[in-house]
A and B are shown apart, each in its own frame.
Chain A
Amino acid sequence: MVYAEYAWLIPILPIIGLLLVALLGKKTPEGGGYFAVGGIAASCFLGVMVALEYLTGGSSEPVSGTMTWLQLNSTLKLEMGYYIDSLSAVMLIVVTILCTLILVYSLGYMHEEGERKRRYYVEISLFVVGMEGLVVASNYLEMFVFWEIMGLCSYLLIGFWYYKPSAAAAAKKAFLVTRIGDILFMIGIISIFASFGTLNYRDLFTHNFIAQPVDMTLLGVGLFCVFGGAVGKSAQFPLHDWLPDAMEGPTTVSALIHAATMVKAGVYLVARSFPLMVHTPDVLLIVAAIGGFTALFAATMALNNPNIKRVLAYSTISQLGYMFLALGAGGYMIATANLSEAAAEMGNAGYMAGMFHLLNHAFFKALLFLSAGAVIHAVHTEDMRLMGGLSKKLKITSFVMLIGALSIAGIPPLSGFWSKDEVLAAVYNAGSANIWFYLLYIMGIVTAFLTAFYMFRLWFMTFKGEGKEATQHAHEAPRSMTVPLIILAIFAFGTGFILMGPDGGLPAVIRTVNLDGHLIAGETLGLGWIEKLFTEWQTWLSIVVAFSGVGLAYMAYFKKSISVDRFATGGSKKVYDLLLARYGFPRAYDWVGMKVVYGFSRAIDFFDRTVIDGVVNVISRFAVSGSGVLRKVQTGVVQTYAIVIVSALSVILILMYLLGGLR
C-alpha cells in the first residue's frame, strides 16, 4: 500500500489550492482558477491512485488510519482519520474525476465573471474539500464535519449571484431545508454513539451483534434519523424542493451538486451505513419507499417544465430516488434473508445496483448539466421555449447531450441502461420478501418511461425544430468547455461496460455486505450473467418502456403529430398547472415557514415576554423596592456609624461576659 497511507492528503490538496487562490488570486489570470484546478487535479491523481491500488490489491480488508481527536474518558474517544474500502474507493474515483473535469470547464464558463471569479474558485475548492473529506472520513462525526462544510458551500455557491433576489432566496431555502436533515443526522449520530460507544466505521462494521447485543429500537431510530439526513442532502421527498431552486447558481455549480457532490453524499451516507441498516429491515423499507415514491414524483414534475436546468434537476431527484430504492430493496432482502444464501446474494445485487447507478448517474448527469451550460452560454436563456434548431450550431454539444440523454433514458448499451436495469431487477426480486416492492417496481417502470420522455422532450426542444430569435447568434463553446464534455461523453457511454470487466468488473467489487454485515470480497459475475440478463422479461420490459418514452417525445416534439398544447388547456389543464406549481410544494414550504414556524415562534415569543420576563421583572422590582427601604440606613453621618459600632461592641462584650466567654 504505497498510496493508501496518504489518503488523508486527498482533502488537504484542494485546501492548498484554495489558499493560493485566496492569496494570489488577484494577480493571476482567471482569478487564480488555475490554482484551484491544480489543487483538485492533484487530489484527483492521488484519489484515483489510492482507489486503483485498493481495488486491484485483492484484499477486502479496509485500509484505515486514525488519530485521537478527543479523549472523552478512559474508554470513550473520538477519532479522526481515513477509511478506504471498496465503497469509498469507487466514490473517490467518481468524485475526484468529475470535480476535476467540472473545474476545467469552469475556466471557460466563468471567464466573463470578472472580480467574482476569485470568490467562485475559493468556494468551489472548499466544496470539493467537503466532499472528498466526507468520502475518506473514518467515522460518522468526521463525516458530519465535512457534511456541514458542504452545506455551507452549497449555500454560498447557490447564492453566488446574490444580487439576484431569486438566487438569494434559493440559497437560503437550500440551507434551511438541508438543515432539517442535518439535525436528524446529528440525532442519528448520537443514537449510534449511545448504542455502540463508538463512531468508527472499523468498529461499527465488525461489531458482533450476538456477543454484544444492542438496543434495536434505539438503533432503528438512529438509523432512521441518519436516513433523514440523507433525505435532506439528497433532496428526497418531502425535503426535495430546494434542489430545483438551486438552479439559480452557476451551471457548473449545479453540475457539481448534482453529479459528484452534495446530493451524492446522501446516497453515500446510506450506502456507508448499509452494514448497520441490514439489521433494521423497517428502516430499509422506508428507504426504499421514499426512494421509489420520489423517483416517480419528481419525474412527473419534469414533464412540462420549460426551464432546461430545472428539468435536469427533477431528473436528478428522480434518479437519486432509484438509488435509494435499490439500496433499500437490497438491504431488505439481506435483512429478511434468514441466512438464505440466494436471497442474500440478490440483496447484495441491490446494493451493487444502487452504487453502480450512482457512478453512472454521476457521469451522465455531469455531462447533461455541462452540455446545458454550454447551451445557456450560447443562447443566454434557460427557457427551452426560446430555443430550437441548435444542433446545427452546437454540433459537439448536441451530440454529447444526445449521449447523455440516451444514457439516462436507459437505451442499451449506454451506461444508464445497465444500472437502471440492475436497480429494477433488485426491486423486483425484493418483492418475494415483501409484497410492497412489487408496487415500487411498477413505480420504477413508470419512472423509466417518464424519464425517457422528458429527456428527449428536452433534447428535441433544444436542438431540433426551427431556430428562434435567441438562437441567432449562438456559437460553440470554447475548448476548455468542449474537451471536458467529450471526456464525460466517453464516460457516460462506457461506464456500463465495466460490468463486463475482469472478475465481474467494478460493480462486483462494490458488493461488500454479507449476512453478518461484515465485508467480503467481490465475486465474479462473468459474461454468463449478461446472457441471463437478456433472457429475462424484466429487461425487455424496461427496454420497451425506454424506447416508447423516446418515441412519444419524438412524435410530440419533433414530428408534432401529437399536439402537446391541448394538455395545457381544457380538462387536463389542472394537472398541467399542478405540475408547474410543483404540486404546491414551494407554497407548502412557505406556509409551514410562515404559519407553523412563525406562529410557533410567536407563541414562544409571547411566553418569553410575559412569563419569563414577567418573573424576572417581579424579582428585580422586589430587589429595587427592598433596596429603596434599606438604603435609608446609610446616612453618611460618621457619628451614626460610630454609635452603631460602639453599641454593637458593647452588646457583644456584655453577652460574652454573661455567657462566660471572658474567663
Chain B
Amino acid sequence: MIPQEYFLALASILFVIGAYGVLTRKNAIVVLMCIELMLNAANINFVTFAAFRNDPTGQVFALFSIAIAAAEVAVGLAILLNLQKTQDTINLEDIKLLRW
C-alpha cells in the first residue's frame, strides 16, 4: 500500500509547478495549461482522501471538478481567441488595458 503522504506530495509538486507557470509564463495558452495542472493537483487530493477515508464524496467532487474544468477551458480559449482577434496578441504582459 502506497502511503497517503506520497499522493499528497505528488499533488503539492504538481500544484507548485502549475502555480509557478501561472505566475511566470507570458503566453496565455501556457498559463491556461498551468491552471489545468493546479486543478488536477486538487483532484488528486480529492480522490486520495476519498480512498483513504472510505468516503465516496471526494470522488464525486473530482468528477464535478473535471467537468467544470472542461467548461473553463472552453470559455478561456474563447477569450484568448477574441484577444488574438482584437489585440493581435496573447502575451499577458502586453494586455494591460485596465491600468492607470
Q: Do A and B bind each other?
A: yes
Report which A residues bind B (CB closer than 8 A).
631-632, 634-639, 642-643, 646
Nearest-neighbor residue (CB-CB) of B19 within chain A: A646
Report which B residues bind A (CB closer than 8 A).
19, 22-24, 31, 92-93, 95-100
**A632 pairs with B19, CB closer than 8 A:** no
**B100 pairs with A634, CB closer than 8 A:** yes
8 A-B residue pairs with Cβ-Cβ distance under 8 Å, sorted by A, are A634-B98, A636-B95, A636-B96, A637-B99, A639-B23, A642-B22, A646-B19, A646-B23
3 closest A-B pairs (Cβ-Cβ)?
A636-B99, A636-B96, A631-B100
Main secondary structure of the interface of B (DSSP, over half): loop
- Which of these, B31, B92, B98, B100, contacts A632 with CB under 8 Å? B100
Contacts of A634 in B (CB 8 A): 98-100
Known A-B contacts A643-B23, A646-B19, A646-B23; A638 and B92 likewise in contact (beta carbons under 8 Å): yes
Q: Considering the chains assembled together, what is the distance between the CA atoms of A632 and B93 in angstroms?
A: 16
**B96 pairs with A637, CB closer than 8 A:** yes
Nearest-neighbor residue (CB-CB) of B20 within chain A: A646
Contacts of B99 in A (CB 8 A): 634-637
**B100 pairs with A637, CB closer than 8 A:** no
| Residue among B19, B23, B97, B98 with most chain A CB within 10 A | B23
Shortest C-beta distance, B75 to chain A (Å), equals: 16
| Residue among A632, A634, A635, A638 with most chain B CB within 10 A | A638
Besides A636-B95, A646-B23, 12 other CB < 8 A contacts? A632-B100, A634-B98, A636-B99, A636-B100, A637-B93, A637-B95, A637-B99, A638-B92, A638-B95, A639-B22, A639-B31, A643-B23
Nearest-neighbor residue (CB-CB) of B98 within chain A: A636
Q: Considering the chains assembled together, what is the distance between the CA atoms of A635 and B99 in angstroms?
A: 5
Q: Considering the chains assembled together, what is the distance between the CA atoms of A203 and B1 in angstroms?
A: 100
- Which of these, B19, B22, B24, B92, contacts A637 with CB under 8 Å? B92
Q: Considering the chains assembled together, what is the distance between the CA atoms of A646 and B24 in angstroms?
A: 13
Q: Considering the chains assembled together, what is the distance between the CA atoms of A632 and B100 in angstroms?
A: 7
Q: Considering the chains assembled together, what is the distance between the CA atoms of A453 and B52 in angstroms?
A: 124
Shortest C-beta distance, B85 to chain A (Å), equals: 19
Q: Considering the chains assembled together, what is the distance between the CA atoms of A2 and B99 in angstroms?
A: 81
Nearest-neighbor residue (CB-CB) of A637 within chain B: B96
**B97 pairs with A636, CB closer than 8 A:** yes
Shortest C-beta distance, A641 to chain B (Å), equals: 10
Contacts of B24 in A (CB 8 A): 639
Contacts of B23 in A (CB 8 A): 639, 642-643, 646
Contacts of A643 in B (CB 8 A): 23
Q: Considering the chains assembled together, what is the distance between the CA atoms of A631 and B95 in angstroms?
A: 18
Contacts of B100 in A (CB 8 A): 631-632, 634, 636
Q: Considering the chains assembled together, what is the distance between the CA atoms of A660 and B63 in angstroms?
A: 34
Contacts of B97 in A (CB 8 A): 636
Q: Considering the chains assembled together, what is the distance between the CA atoms of A257 and B19 in angstroms?
A: 90
| Residue among A631, A635, A637, A646 with most chain B CB within 10 A | A637
